[in-house]
Structure formats: C-alpha cells, structure tokens
Amino acid sequence: MREALAMSDFPYAERFTVNRALPEHGREPQDVLEELAAMAKEEDAAWEGGRVSGTMYCGDHDHYAFLNDAFGLYAHVNILQRDICPSATKMEGEVIAMALDLFHAEAAEGEGGEPVGLLTTGGTGSIMHAVLAMREYAAQERGVTRPNFIKPETGHPAFDKACHLFGVELRKAPCDADTTLVDVDWVDQHIDDQTIGIMGSACNYGYGTIDPIAELSDVATKHGVGLHVDCCLGGFILPFGQQLGVDIPVFDFRIPGVTSISADTHKYGYAFKGSSTVLFRDKAWRNSQYFFLTDWTGGKYGSPGMEGSRSGGLLAATWASMVKTGRDGYLRYAREIFDTATAMQSAVRSHPELKIMGQPTFLFSFRSDEFDIYHVNDHMRPKGWRFNGQQYPNALHMAVTRPQTQPGVAEAFAADLAEAVAYAKEKGHEPAASGAIYGGVAGGMNDDADEFIRSVMADMFDTHQSLPPD
C-alpha cells in the first residue's frame, strides 16, 4: 500500500543536500533562500492554474507579498507578553470587532449580551475553544459533570477531536440523503440534562450546504443549551453572498439561540494559514474557558485560550489582510467566486448522469448513480484537477476559490468534465483507481482505513527513519 503511493521517496533527495543532523557549518543565507525558492516556485505551479479545490483561497502573489511585509514587522513578537506590544491589543481588538460586525453581533448587544471573541490558530483551534467554553460554562452554570455534545454527521471532524480531547461524549445526528441537512427532530430528542450544546454548519465542508440554523436555535433555546455555528469555511464569503442577493439563509447572531461562531480568516479572509476567529454571544461563555495559574512559582500566569506564546506576525498579517481588502474587496471577490461556482455547477447539471448534493453555494459536491464517480476523478486528475473525494455516498467536491475565477478556468472545467463523463460511462461500476480520503490524497482504500491512513502519515512524518543513502 505504501509503495503504491510512491510517497516514501524522500522529496528532493537528488537535488538538494539531505540534512541528517545540523550542518557542521551554517550555510550562506542566500544559498538557503535559493533552495527554498526553487521548491516553492515549482510547487506553486500546481495550483496557480486554478484546478485545485479549496486550499489556496487567495492565490494572489501581490497580496501574499503585502502580508509578508506586515508579518515581517511583527514576526519576532510574542503577543502573550502584552505590556511591550500595545499594538497587539489594538490589532486583536479590531480583528474581533470586524468579525463581530460581519456576523451582526449588534443583535446580541440589543438583548444585553456582551459579544466578544478570540483569535486562534485555525478552524480546529476555534472549534476546540468553542467546545471547551461550552463544557466549562455548562459545568459552572448547570453543574454538568458527564458532558455530551451533538453534531450533524456532516459536521467537521474538529468537533470529534474536541470531544475526544475534552472528555465530551459526541452524539452524531443523521442527515437527509438528498438535502444533506441535519434531522432537527433527532437533535431535539437526543438532548438531555448533560448536553452542553449542539452545532450546525454554514456551510459544511463536504457539500457546501447550510444546516437549518433557525430551527436548531429553537431547539437549543428550548433546552437551554449552547448552539455553535461553524462558519470556518463560509464565514468570510457567505455574508457577502447574502449582500449580493444569493439565496443564503440568515445563520449569524441575528438568530437568538446562536451562542458562538467560528470563522477562519485563513480561508476566505485571505490571511495566512494559522489564523481564525471564534466569537461568543456573551462574554460569560468565553471567560468560562480562561486559564489561570496564579500561585505558580514562575509568577502569576494566565492565558486567554489554549495557546501560550502567540505570533505577533500572524496577528499583524491577519489584521492587514482584513483592512486592506475591506468590504468592497471581499464583495468583489465573492461576486467572482459565486459567478464561477454557478458556471461550474451548470456544467455539472448539464449531465443527467451527475447529481449535485443538496443546495450548495460556492462549494459543491456531485455524485452519480450511473457509474463510480471516481472514474471522473481518474480522468481529470492527469489534467491537473484536484478534487476532494467523499464517501457515504461517494462524491467529488470542488470548493471554488479565487484561482478558479481566472478567465477560462470554468470553461476548461466544463470541457474536461464532459470528456470525463464519457470515460466514466464506459467504465461504469468497475472499481476506479482513486478513493475517498480527506485532503485529496487518493489511493485504493481497503477495509482497514485506519491502518492505511497510519501508513500515509508515516510516509509524511517518519521520513527520518528512511533517509536515502549518503
């Protein structure tokens, strides 16, 4: 299996020195940078043409250079040590304020709530902080000692991870096979006195569909539990889609039961990887998860979240991305992305053999009853297309980002898809070469999926055990 992936060949071993230990003598900075630049340039070419789903949300090298300048000014700063960097207090406060404004936190203020937020290291970090806050809040306010949490089965694995790490029982609510949306009655019936909260996605990663947040809110309010809305992916694009008149229901703090929202600046916020926001309807939720160790011999310690030291560079680059792009910029990019996504979805709908899952937005997913959908992947992969593979049912997903909005990409998608459908019709239900695994690493999946993924991880992280000969 590992051999089949051909990932065990140590990358760049023929071209660059393999470091088995620290080099005896430090290298010239120029030489180091040239090595990095050569690899980066070649790897960027894989997505620059606009054929890779998700992952490169911005793709604009001028914007990246601007972020690098902002990052560079603060790269050395630890924003945990706030007394020597008041600028961090300004920037973090403003990032949170801008995000709260986007999700209509004024609605919560109207009811006497005090909306607040935290800047985290990514979507997973934001979700972990939200689940931790729910657990702590439920423990403090309701005396919950055996916490459980409910997610739709389409909810991101970060919720499973958070529950796993924080000792919370996870209950998974079924979703409708056609609409992909959560069964709200099931959620209602499975809440008990130990439930800390429930969640819905706007939108989910798999299908780009939006759970019925208003109905989940009624259920959460009725039972007095938290409701987290996962806008990690959609947070910095769906509000602009609403403004453009795209059919997107309200999913933010205007819905009264919504207690927290996660939104990734490192996706459609066009900031660097390693930044995200988590927003709370009221201070009490966030504050419940603060960590203090006031009697430590090293001094009185406190941290706002799970991280200790935090990067001033990432904060500055995130702030810079938001204020440079502005409402008009986000709106302009959203329009281009929604137009492209609509064109690509029309191409899919033009083939009666293909079915789009539910009512998607800028991200869509499609399957087929006529043939194994992975034949479409097999045919388009050599042309540079990289979709994400899904399972139960098998489907392919495309998250449209700015690289796809370049001229000609949607047209090339339509043409290549037509050829791929013809190819797949010939193959029918014969097994296809590619299979479903998050992140687009595809290979023949067998029964023992855990073992397979373990070996893929080994090929990525244990390479020091099998370095090529000197």
Of 119, 168, 233, 398, which one interacts with ligand PLP (CB under 6 A)? 233
| Pick 188 or 211: Cβ nearer ligand PLP | 211
SS3 state at 459: helix
CB of 189 to ligand PLP, least distance (A): 25
Q: Report the DSSP beta bridge partners of residue 399.
A: 363
| Pick 201 or 405: Cβ nearer ligand PLP | 201
| Pick 233 or 432: Cβ nearer ligand PLP | 233
SS3 state at 435: coil
| Pick 209 or 368: Cβ nearer ligand PLP | 209
345 counts as binding ligand PLP under rule CB under 6 A: no
CB of 29 to ligand PLP, least distance (A): 31
205 counts as binding ligand PLP under rule CB under 6 A: yes
Residues 428-467, interacting with ligand PLP (CB under 6 A) = none
Give the separation between CA 284 and CA 106, rounded to whole angstroms: 17
264 counts as binding ligand PLP under rule CB under 6 A: yes
| Pick 263 or 420: Cβ nearer ligand PLP | 263
201 counts as binding ligand PLP under rule CB under 6 A: yes
Spatial neighbors of 231 by CB under 8 A, at least 6 apart, are 103, 201, 202, 238, 251, 252, 261, 262, 263
CB of 407 to ligand PLP, least distance (A): 27
Residue 458, H or E segment: helix 449-461
122 counts as binding ligand PLP under rule CB under 6 A: yes
DSSP state of 394: T
SS3 state at 427: helix
With contacts defined by CB under 6 A, name the span among 226-234, 365-373, 433-441, 458-466 that binds ligand PLP: 226-234
Residue at shortest CB range from ligand PLP: 123
CB of 272 to ligand PLP, least distance (A): 12
What are the DSSP calls for 204-223, one per residue?
-TTT--B--HHHHHHHHHHH
With contacts defined by CB under 6 A, name the span among 138-146, 201-209, 277-285, 386-394 that binds ligand PLP: 201-209
Give the separation between CA 71 and CA 78, rounded to whole angstroms: 13
CB of 265 to ligand PLP, least distance (A): 10
| Pick 188 or 230: Cβ nearer ligand PLP | 230
| Pick 215 or 264: Cβ nearer ligand PLP | 264
With contacts defined by CB under 6 A, name the span among 22-30, 227-235, 352-360, 430-438 that binds ligand PLP: 227-235
Q: At what angle do helices 61-74 and 312-349 cross, to 10 degrees?
A: 160
CB of 121 to ligand PLP, least distance (A): 8
124 counts as binding ligand PLP under rule CB under 6 A: yes
Of 92, 215, 230, 372, which one interacts with ligand PLP (CB under 6 A)? 230
Half-sphere exposure of 395 (CA within 13 A, CB side): 23
261 counts as binding ligand PLP under rule CB under 6 A: no
Give the separation between CA 302 and CA 423, rounded to whole angstroms: 60
CB of 117 to ligand PLP, least distance (A): 16
How many residues lie near ligand PLP (CB under 6 A)?
12
| Pick 230 or 459: Cβ nearer ligand PLP | 230
| Pick 204 or 361: Cβ nearer ligand PLP | 204
CB of 55 to ligand PLP, least distance (A): 10
8 A C-beta contact, residue 257 and residue 217: yes
Give the separation between CA 270 and CA 122, rounded to whole angstroms: 13
What are the DSSP calls for 35-103, one per residue?
HHHHHHHHHHHHHHTS-B-SS-S---HHHHHHHHHHHHHHTT-BTTSGGG-HHHHHHHHHHHHHHHHHT
8 A C-beta contact, residue 116 and residue 340: no
8 A C-beta contact, residue 186 and residue 94: no
405 counts as binding ligand PLP under rule CB under 6 A: no
Q: Which two tokens stand for residue 281?
A: 């309807």
Residues 132-161, interacting with ligand PLP (CB under 6 A) = 156, 158
Give the separation between CA 123 and CA 119, rounded to whole angstroms: 10
320 closest CA partner among 359, 354, 365, 269: 269
| Pick 379 or 397: Cβ nearer ligand PLP | 397
| Pick 289 or 368: Cβ nearer ligand PLP | 289
DSSP state of 468: P
CB of 370 to ligand PLP, least distance (A): 29
Give me the residues that bind ligand PLP (CB under 6 A), please: 122-124, 156, 158, 201, 204-205, 230, 232-233, 264
